[in-house]
Amino acid sequence: MKKILCSVLALFLIIIISACGNKEVKEKMLYDRIPMIMVEGNLYLDTGNKMPVEIDDSAIIGTITSEVDGSETPTQNGQSNFGCVGAEYAYCDDGIVVMINNEWQFFRLEK
């Protein structure tokens, strides 16, 4: 009787651990896309680098006008997959910078 109880308990733990692992993998697959924005038909990918620059208002080329889900790729100009609708962006150092949380975040051109 004790062996059966231990076997059932072990099987139950294996099922629970498998279910939790699968959920995490599925969520990571859906939302593990790099933040990106489309500008003038080109995709720019987030580098994770903040740019300590001052951008003159005349250098701003647009604002994020729409968003897609974090698991999708933007398909329209001014569209991002990270939200921030209304955030300004400008060209800077072979890429663009986007104003996120009062800091310029550098995005590089997708190659």
- pLDDT tens for 4-53 read 655 555 555 455 555 555 444 444 444 568 999 999 999 999 999 999 88
User: Token pair 């990918």 is at which residue?
Assistant: 45
Distance CA 66, CA 29 (A): 23
Per-residue pLDDT tens over the stretch 27-36: 444 456 899 9
Residue 44 and residue 107 in contact, taking contact as beta carbons nearer than 8 Å: yes
In terms of Cα–Cα distance, which of 84, 83, 87 is closest to 62?
87
pTM strictly above 0.75: no
